[in-house]
Amino acid sequence: AASSCQDCPKGRYSAEIQTATCEPCGDGHYCPSDGMSAQLPCRNGTYSQTNVNGIKKCTQCEVGKYADEEKLNGCLSCNSGNFCNEP
């Protein structure tokens, strides 16, 4: 009996055709739905964080920290003498 293709589950993606596995989304990225063919970058002001289900999601930086680039897996702290009230 022939098997059918299955969507990659949320949190994983497959950029390849004719593959037998799905890759987990990498640091600084997220895969919000089933069937993703590419991972999406976390935007400026957010970072990737793994939730209790082992799925990465983008989370907004807390006050006093920032992310001035996409694809970060953590926020940067403001230096002394500086402040940031927006991520």
What does the pLDDT read at residue 1? 47
Q: For 73, left (φ over 0), alpha (ψ -120 to 50), or beta?
A: alpha
pTM score, whole prediction: 0.78
Share of the chain above pLDDT 90, in %: 46
> CB–CB of 21/28 below 8 Å?
no
- The per-residue pLDDT for range 8-29, each reduced to its tens digit, is 999 999 998 888 899 999 989 9
For residue 49, name the pLDDT band (cuts at 50, 70, 90). Answer: confident
